[in-house]
Each structure stands twice: as C-alpha cells, then as structure tokens.
Structure 1
C-alpha cells in the first residue's frame, strides 16, 4: 500500500513547477546563508557534516571537462551513500546567477555545484528528520520519484 501511494504521488507531480521551486529554494537558501557554492567548498562542507545537507544541485556536464565530470560523479556517489538528494540542472551559468556568483570577465560565472544546508536555527524533528521548506520537500520528492530513471532528468532553470 505504501508503494501505491508513492507511485500515485509521483504520477501527479507537476514537473513544470520544479524549475521555479528550485530557483526559489536556491534564492531563499542564499538569503538565509544556507547555500554553499562551488565544488571544493561543497566537498569540504560534506566532509564535515553530510547530515546537515538538504539538497545537492549539479549542472549538466560540460563537454571536454573530464576532471570536473569525474569529481561530480564522485560527489553524486557520496551524496547517494549519505541519502542526499542530487538534482541536475541544465546550465551552470544560471546556477551561478542564483547562487549570487558573478565575474567581470566576458566568460561570465559558472557554478559546478551548489548545496543547500539545513537551517540550524530550527531543531531537528523526531528521528532526526531535517526540517525543509515546501519547495525543498517538493524537490526531494522529485528526486525520490525519479531515482530509477535513466538518463537522470535535467531541470531547466528559468532565466
């Protein structure tokens, strides 16, 4: 019966709302200082306290960047082992924009990883469940619903 309920929840999930929900979750986490951007800062945070991570966001792999791709694959494996939802987005430039990263050169900013951490001002719920916003819950549910899809779905971030 539990399986039927989760299948039904996945079938009625509106995938069109995901991009706006992710944008909102990233912006809110940035404002609340719960957003860690960049591959190495994210890895450093995950190394210290993976239990405080709500969500990991990675852009689709850039062609010709094998080193970053390998690091991202290892990061995904680490997140999978620690039950951290990983969502893939279409563009690292858009992700950088929502993370507040910018450069003054002509190439623009690129973000190869972003993690949303838990709000440490809120107490952990029973059974150490991390409190999440409505948008974060929606994104975590999407991750669970698409866990067995291959290739993994890519969320197209709004401009």
Structure 2
C-alpha cells in the first residue's frame, strides 16, 4: 500500500467510534473465508513466506510487565511497517481471541490472541498486476491506518463485546 497524498476530507469522515465493529466484521468475514491467521508464531511464519498477500495486521495492547510479548509485537509492527502492511491496534487480546474463534486452554483463564493477520482474497478473479478489491470495512480500516499513520501515540480501536 503506497501513501501518496492523504485526503483530509476522507480522514474527517471516518467514524472512529464504529471502527471496532468494522474490525469485528473484517475478522469474522476473513475467518469464514479462511483468510484469518491467529497467533504470533503462525502469523510470523506466514509473513516470512508470503508477506505480499497480507492485507492487515491486528495487534492488541500488550500487558504491562510482559516484556517478551512486547518485544515480539514491536518487531512485528516494524516488519509490517517496512512491508506496507497496515497495523490496527485493538484494546483486548481476549476479544480478539473470541473473534478469531480461539478457545481457552483452561476454564479459569480466557483465551488470548497476541496478533491476527488477514490475507487478501486471492480467489477473486482479477488481473495479474492488481490487488483484489477490498470490502467496504477493509477499505475503512485501510483508510483509518493511512489517516492516523503520523499520530502518536497510535490510536487504539475498542472492540465491541
């Protein structure tokens, strides 16, 4: 994804309060279409092989005191940034795990998901030199990423329950 010139009107029209629902919808659709990869190691393995077919990376906030996960997350973000893969940060690894369909290992501890990547829909018939078209929600998240690229701290999308 190349960022040439931001359309300020497009950025102003993004409703940040509804982005959580957009993330939920994109994750649900990608899961149904088998385009969703959950977990740090599976995501890294996929990115290592074919990073060009990754549409979006979703990362939850890391818990304070979890230095190992924080370092892995920072490296994953850097890799995505270098490869023009939009990264959307969300508020909860538990909600992300729920949307990914991950089950808890133990009954007393909810499932967590350190990251999820969504791949492009390569089954869509397109010309060889073009990317597949984005769904409206995928486009909204890509626009949000582009519009907030220079914001610091990075905005966190609150996922619905």
TM category (shorter chain) comes to over 0.9
The alpha-carbon deviation at position 128 of structure 1 amounts to 2.9
The alpha-carbon deviation at position 78 of structure 1 amounts to 0.4
Q: Is the 8 A contact 1:57 1:114 kept in 2?
A: yes
CA distance in 1, matches of 2:33, 2:13: 31
Q: Is the 8 A contact 1:54 1:130 kept in 2?
A: no
Q: Which residue of 2 aligns with 1:76?
A: 77
Q: CA RMSD in A?
A: 1.5
Q: Which residue of 2 aligns with 1:40?
A: 41
The alpha-carbon deviation at position 7 of structure 1 amounts to 1.1
CA distance in 2, matches of 1:128, 1:40: 29
The alpha-carbon deviation at position 130 of structure 1 amounts to 3.8
TM-score computed with the length of structure 1 as normaliser: 0.93
Matches within 5 A, 1:119-158: 119-125=121-127, 127-158=129-160
Matches within 5 A, 1:14-25: 14-25=15-26
Q: Is the 8 A contact 1:125 1:131 kept in 2?
A: no
The alpha-carbon deviation at position 82 of structure 1 amounts to 0.5
Q: Which has the higher helix share?
A: 1
The alpha-carbon deviation at position 53 of structure 1 amounts to 0.4
Paired residue total: 157
- Unpaired stretches in structure 2, ≥5 consecutive residues: none
- Aligned CA distance change for structure 1 residues 125 and 16 (closer, same or farther; 3 Å): farther
Over residues 67-94 of structure 1, what are the superposed CA-to-partner deviations in whole Å (9 max), with x where a residue is unaligned? 1100100000000011000000000000
